[in-house]
Amino acid sequence: MMPKERYIKLKQYLSEENPVFLEVIEKYQTLDKVAYRLGLLSPEETYTSAISWWPMISVLGTFSAGKSTFVNDYVGKVIQQTGNQAIDDKFTVMCYGHNHEPVTLPGLALDADPRFPFYNISDEVNKVDPGEGSRVNLYLQLKTVNSEKLKGKILIDSPGFDADSQRDAILRITSHIVEMSDLVLIFFDARHPEPGAMRDTLEHLVASTIAHKDANKVLYILNQIDTTAKEDNLEDVIGSWQRALAQEGLVSGNFFGIYNEDAAISVEDDALLKRLKGKRDSDHARILERMDNVGIERAYRIIKALVDRAKEMQEKQIPLLRERLQQIRRYVWWSNGVVLLLLFLIAGLLQWQFDLFTSTVPAAVAGGIGAVVFFMLHVKAGRFFAAREAAQWRDAQPEMARAIMHNISWWRLLLGFGSGWNSGAVTQLERLVAQGREAIQKLNDQFVTPAGTSHNVSKVT
């Protein structure tokens, strides 16, 4: 789907939800246009595809950590199979459906539908695991569920995670889910109090999320803490997991301990039961509150993503691009100097040996030939140095590599990339940042009234 078609679809889907979103989509269109002009985006790309426009909650974690039981309890229906062993090896994307019984659709339904945050995920899978993109049905499935809890939300239940045995395709989809989600719940199993044995899994699930620019959206959940009643060591188990997480860099964050009351073990000690239940009820309520408010958080996150992207382009990408292009220009001028010196030496040698430019070839013609040769070599040098520079960025920042090649032209290499280069883009980005802040204020007006006045507002769901 081309960006223009995506804009139209988004406006249709969001027109009845909140008028602020329609304004924000238009701002994303402007941001895309700036990126097209700079070469940071190709014409078939759009920044609107880098975020989820529907509130999205993902549940990740290790095998037998109780993820599926938690999901079933949340939606009020037995949708996912549960057990102590790996039951399902697919990511299950759940959304609201009118059918009384859940309907399961293949992964292709997600890969081909731009309304979901897995649109064209097969292409991403192919990048890390060539050929696996055509087998997207092995990794993803869609379930529609008639549950009020899922109205206006997307909920994802992941297969049990074991970093030692995961294929690149699973790791890529996991990273994609973390990036796109508004809320990420990462489950660990309190029945395995030795997290050191899961070092690789912790590293991938934890280290990859704490580096995220919006780490507050990740909740770390130690599930089935009722099992600690056998040894009455709840604090020791929680401390063990927190130390393991700290070793991966999580020195602070959202850490919770819960269990499922229907599946809990019997606890005879009333005081111990009260302590466990108090911890469970408090943390469970906080988790559900975050899940219920995910629509509100999503609204702010969409606008924040716009502002952050505009600021990144303005403060980092444009200055870096200008710096690299100026460096390429310096290389080209050094090569031009060498070429001019060689041309003069060759001309001098021909003149000395054959008196060429005064007898058989007019000086004006010789000068013209020399200018054409110089121009051709100038262009080739520009392309050569640009390609060499772009190659250094292709893996780390492919958009920078694309922008370098996009901005190379013979006249820019001659005239330079001064302070006025793309000043119009900088101005537009400054305006987008200001407009993004205004959009946040409009969202604030829907939820808060500092003056105490009453007014009708539309609700962000």
Domains, the chain, in order of start with CATH, read 54-292 (3.40.50.300), 311-427 (no CATH)
- H/E segment holding residue 437: helix 423-447
Of 237, 247, 168, 176, give the one whose Cα is nearest residue 206: 247
Q: Is the pTM of this model over 0.75?
A: no
- What pLDDT does residue 415 have? 67
- What pLDDT does residue 34 have? 94
In percent, the amount of the chain with pLDDT more than 90 equals 16
pLDDT digits 0-9 by tens, 412-453: 766 666 555 678 888 999 999 999 999 888 888 876 655 555
Helices 363-393 and 318-354 sit at what angle, rounded to 10 degrees?
A: 150
- What pLDDT does residue 248 have? 63
Half-sphere exposure of 254 (CA within 13 A, CB side): 20
Q: In the chain, what is the straight-line distance between the N-terminal and C-terminal CA atoms, in Å?
A: 26
Q: What is the DSSP string of 275-314?
A: HHHHHHHHHHHHHHHHHHTHHHHHHHHHHHHHHHHHHHII
Asked if 329 and 417 touch (Cβ cutoff 8 Å), the reply is yes
Q: What is the mean pLDDT of residues 380-390?
A: 88
Distance CA(108)–CA(43), nearest Å, equals: 25
- What pLDDT does residue 41 have? 93
- What pLDDT does residue 65 have? 80
pLDDT digits 0-9 by tens, 129-149: 677 777 778 888 888 889 988
Asked if 195 and 188 touch (Cβ cutoff 8 Å), the reply is yes
Q: Say whether pLDDT at 355 is over 70.
A: no
Range in 113-122, 151-160, 170-179, 376-385 with the lowest mean pLDDT: 113-122
Q: What is the mean pLDDT of the chain?
A: 79
Q: Work out the pLDDT band at 332, boundaries 50, 70, 90.
A: confident
